[in-house]
Amino acid sequence: MKNKKGKFFVLEGGEGSGKSSQLKKLSEYFGERVLITREPGGSPYAEEIRSLILNSENAKQADAKTHFALFWAARADHLKNTILPALARRQNVLVDRFDSSTYAYQVFAQEASELKDFFWKMRQFYLGKNIPSRYFFLDVEPSIGLARKQKQKREVLNHFDERDVQFHTRMRKGFLDFFKQVPYSTIDANQPFDTVTMTLVTELKKYII
């Protein structure tokens, strides 16, 4: 019996994990079999919220609760207008960041532990049964990842990229805590880029339609 819908996957990773570059490789490899989209953003309205979150002059001073609310708002629009229609077309979807990033960044990195239980309630409210089939985590040591970021001179950094190594260490702990609750695969992103690509493709092929 054929699957009625596509499968929903998430690619996660800390800063400097090579996530964006790996997504380009995955797009080349899988082509139209996989719709690659991103968070925050991925739909017209969510992209407007993305700009507010990352590019506003006042974004850095906003607290975790404010970012938390904005990310969920963007996610709701992204899910409704991009992800679910693609899955209904029996297309696989791979999202560059998803709810796992909200958990890692806002609950852990921004040290808003009071949001931890609320996060899971929001997840149920906004996503319901529309949860990812599997998360793929590009795990990189924060110090290595930040060093890579600093070498990427052409890339414009947002205020999260510019935080110190302690922030990114807390973020990694948040990812690892989140992944205790969901199906996931870890890829060692400290390895050479091409090695990571081959490992990631092999891992994705186990689950993709």
Q: Is there a binding annotation on residue 42?
A: no
| Cβ density class 133-172: b for 16+ within 10 Å, e for less | bbbbbbbbbbeebbeebeeeeeeeeeebbebeeebbbbbb
Residue 132 DSSP class: -
The verdict on whether residue 16 carries a ligand-binding annotation is: yes
Q: Which candidate, 67, 93, 48, places its Cα nearest to that of 207? A: 93
Tokens of 13: 């990773």
Residue 19 counted as an annotated binding residue: yes
* Size (the chain), residues: 209
CA distance 138 to 149: 15
Q: Does 15 show up as a binding residue in the annotation? A: yes
Question: What distance in Å separates the CA atoms of residue 35 and residue 94, rounded to the nearest whole number?
Answer: 6
- How many other β-carbons are positioned within 10 Å of the β-carbon of residue 186? 15
- 41 annotated as belonging to a binding site for a ligand: no
**Residue 13 annotated as part of some ligand binding site:** yes
Classify 190 as helix, strand or coil.
Answer: coil
The verdict on whether residue 18 carries a ligand-binding annotation is: yes
57 known ligand binder: no
- Residues annotated in the binding site for ATP, as ranges? 13-20
- Residues annotated in the binding site, as ranges? 13-20
